[in-house]
Amino acid sequence: MRAGSFAREGACICVADLYLDKAEDAASDIAAGGGRAIGVQLDVQRSNGWANAVAETEQAFGPVSILCNNAGADFRVSFDEQTEEMWNLVLGTILTGSFLGTKP
């Protein structure tokens, strides 16, 4: 788990995921190992979601200094089977998500 690697180096972690239960499970694992972490729900394709995630993180730990922007969508189907909807979701998650997360 990448978040765990940061925690082992002493970082306080905000685990953000589309699925809150996954984010909270990862945060719990970090806490169980002695680290400090919160889990928040975030759809990386939504700019207001980023604002909320950053606000929750700053409230818990102070200013954000590292971003690991690695949300991904991958349907693992052949090119012929890939629909336009799948294509847009992959690009939206990886490209738009990275754009919005990196933007001040």
Ligand X SMILES: NC(=O)c1ccc[n+]([C@@H]2O[C@H](COP(=O)([O-])OP(=O)(O)OC[C@H]3O[C@@H](n4cnc5c(N)ncnc54)[C@H](O)[C@@H]3O)[C@@H](O)[C@H]2O)c1
Applying CB under 6 A, does 72 fall inside the site for ligand X? yes
Q: Residue 74, interface with ligand X (CB under 6 A)?
A: yes
CB of 12 to ligand X, least distance (A): 20
**Where does this chain touch ligand X (CB under 6 A) — which range of 6-14, 54-62, 64-72, 80-88?**
64-72
**What one-character-per-residue DSSP string does 22-84 give?**
HHHHHHHHHHHTT--EEEEE--TT-HHHHHHHHHHHHHHHSS---------------TTT--H
93 binds ligand X (CB under 6 A): yes
Cα 50 to Cα 102: distance, rounded to the nearest angstrom: 10
- Stretch 30-49: interaction string toward ligand X, x if CB under 6 A: ------------xxxx----
Residues 95/69, Cβ–Cβ less than 8 Å:
no
Q: Provide the binding-site residues for ligand X, judged by CB under 6 A.
A: 17-19, 22, 42-45, 70-74, 93-94
